[in-house]
Amino acid sequence: MNRRIVFGLLVVGLALGTTPVAPGERDAPIDRLDRFRALAAARLGPLELSGGEPAPEVVGELYALLDDEILDNLASGSLFASEGFLQERLDALREVWGGAAFRVLALGGSGLTVVAFQLSPGGWGNSVRVYGRTGSAAALVRAIHREGVPALHDMPPTRAGHPQFLIAWVGPQSSRGSTGLRLELWRMRGESVDLAWSTDGVIEGGLLISRFALGPQQVSFRYEVRYPGWKPGCDGQTEHEDLYRYATGGETFVLARRQVVNGWHREFHAVLARFLAALGTPDRRALARWVPDGALSARLPARLEPDLACDAADGPSPSAVTVAAVEPAGGRPWSLVFRRAGMGWRLAAAAPVE
């Protein structure tokens, strides 16, 4: 008989294990698949309509079932502990709860099995769990919880043979199309699985990306950059597109390339900040650097502050930019037009908005 058919029959034919239920629910243990189905229907189904999140004890009960399923098979060894068999077992659970997704990754030769559990596309309750051995018994070595949906990626072991793996935690998409991303490299040393590298350690404030790609031992992503003048939801602002590669010498990810997109916007707002600071000083001669037209300088109010409205540029590499400002006393709005002049920017027009 075909080996694939035999494997499938084993998956279907073997019991999914048993777990006791609370007194009064049923007098005898029930099949783990049935228990997962009952929990999903009773505790998770109503939340799909309301958009709420389950209580922590419900999530804990779900993971108790999932951990038992993994550990029972790892303890059995042989075929039952294989990556393919475990994936089939978890896929059977997924079929009874469409909101779930599972990915099994066996780190060859290490005795570690890593599983990404997605209980919700919205992010609640998701986890990456590392299973191994404590003495002769199969055990849960580490449970990792973050916001977002986890995606597992295999990594080669270190030169000393320490197994490691990469997790991409992908958050929900915002109204402006950006998505949260957190990358983590986890590594086992001795009996402990610890964080070896994270994008949080190299990019301050976390990542909001417009795209990313994972390749063999490298990752690239384009993300929003925070700087004075950056405004949420506006197009054409400065972004970075970084490429990180895994360096075997340092056994970590290092920045291999950075491309700056719309760098003019960050530079322009640095100029705008200096212009507004000079405007607030009593000596109007300080404005001459940005407002060479004396008549225009005389029409400006004593102080202006940046407004939250998006800038209007005349192209991707603009020669003119219109920005919104407001008088702090009274809140009167102004429109300021800056034009490129050589290597800098000069105020070309300014008027209150009636």
The sign of the dihedral angle between the CA atoms of 87, 92, 93, 99 is: positive
Q: How many angstroms separate the CA atoms of 271 and 318, rounded?
A: 15
Residue 164 near residue 196, CB atoms below 8 Å: yes
Band of the pLDDT at 56, cuts 50, 70, 90? confident
What are the phi and psi torsion angles at 269 (to 5°)? -70, -25
| CA angle (283, 285, 289) in 5-degree steps | 130
Residue 335 near residue 322, CB atoms below 8 Å: yes
* Residue-level pLDDT at 45: 67
> Residue 282: inside a domain, yes or no?
yes
Q: 190-210 burial by CB neighbour count: b if 16+ within 10 A, else e?
A: eeebeebbbbeeebeeebbbe
> Residue 307: inside a domain, yes or no?
yes
pLDDT tens digit string along 301-339?
999 999 999 999 999 999 999 999 999 998 999 999 999
What does the pLDDT average to over 197-220? 93
> Residue 23: inside a domain, yes or no?
no
What does the pLDDT average to over 52-80? 88
CA dihedral 249, 251, 255, 257 (to 10 degrees): 60
What does the pLDDT average to over 163-191? 91
Q: How many angstroms separate the CA atoms of 307 and 309, rounded?
A: 6
Residue 179 near residue 171, CB atoms below 8 Å: yes
Highest mean pLDDT: which of 13-27, 123-137, 185-199? 185-199
| Nearest of 81, 151, 155, 77 to residue 115 by alpha carbon | 151
Half-sphere exposure of 128 (CA within 13 A, CB side): 29
The answer to whether residue 286 scores a pLDDT higher than 80 is yes
What are the phi and psi torsion angles at 343 (to 5°)? -95, 5
Residue 309 belongs to domain spanning: 264-352
> Residue 148: inside a domain, yes or no?
no
Q: What is the CATH number of the domain that holds 287?
A: 3.10.450.50
State the total domains in the chain: 1
Residue 76 near residue 115, CB atoms below 8 Å: no
Place of tokens 């983590």: 184
> Residue 346: inside a domain, yes or no?
yes
| Nearest of 140, 111, 110 to residue 127 by alpha carbon | 140
| Nearest of 137, 77, 112 to residue 192 by alpha carbon | 112
> Residue 341: inside a domain, yes or no?
yes
Q: How far is CA 199 from the centre of its chain?
A: 10
Residue 302 near residue 280, CB atoms below 8 Å: yes
Percent of the chain clearing pLDDT 70 (strictly above): 89
Q: By three-state DSSP, how is residue 305 classified?
A: strand
> Residue 291: inside a domain, yes or no?
yes
pTM of the predicted model, to two decimals? 0.82
* Residue-level pLDDT at 181: 96
Contacts of 136 (CB under 8 A, 6+ apart): none
Band of the pLDDT at 142, cuts 50, 70, 90? very high
In which region does residue 302 sit, left (phi positive, over 0), alpha (psi from -120 to 50) or beta (all else)? alpha
Band of the pLDDT at 188, cuts 50, 70, 90? very high
Q: How many angstroms separate the CA atoms of 341 and 223, rounded?
A: 30
Q: How many angstroms separate the CA atoms of 287 and 284, rounded?
A: 5
